[in-house]
Amino acid sequence: MGLSVGDIAPDFCLESSGGGVVSSNDLRGQCFVLYFYPKDFTSVCTAEACSFRDQFADLRDLDVTVFGVSRDDLDTHRKFKEEYDLPFELLSDPDGKTAKAYGARVPLLGVTKRVTYLVNGEGRIAAVHEEMFGDASHVNAVLSALSKGEVR
């Protein structure tokens, strides 16, 4: 079961495509997006990543950091990021523990669901959007929540 608006976002510490690690502790006080997706270089995942890329300036202007999370390894993430000119970091969750903590994992199959969480500066879930075959709907849901002031 996924998380709901108002829930405390689970802690995580994942390796980043840019090198180093990204930790939820390092993000305290900041608003950020964690969008979980099944696999780099697949059609819907690519379209979703590109929709976040295309709206990245709007999110940055609102002081929102974006992270994509999948079970892909860092080498694959780096290639994906480079090929599609993604301006945000991709985080590797090889064992799926973070996806599981966020309820973004299909239990019996172990694959990552397509679900996006907007986390506010207090570390609480401010918005959730889950749609397995929607690509641009995820970034649009985040922008909608931000425009309604649901985050701060």
Percent of the chain topping pLDDT 90 = 77
Q: Is residue 104 one of the residues assigned to a domain?
A: yes
Query: Active-site residue numbers?
Result: 45
Count other C-beta atoms under 10 Å from residue 57's C-beta. Answer: 10
Q: Is the residue at 8 inside a domain?
A: no
Position 4 in a domain: no
Task: Provide the 8-state DSSP code for 53.
Answer: H
pLDDT at 136 over 90: no
Q: How many domains does the chain have?
A: 1
> Has residue 2 got a pLDDT over 90?
no
| Domain interval for residue 92 | 13-147
Kindly state the tokens that stand for 75.
């080498």
Does 65 score more than 70 pLDDT?
yes
| Domain membership flag for residue 116 | yes
- Distance CA(50)–CA(30), nearest Å, equals 23
CATH of the domain at 122: 3.40.30.10
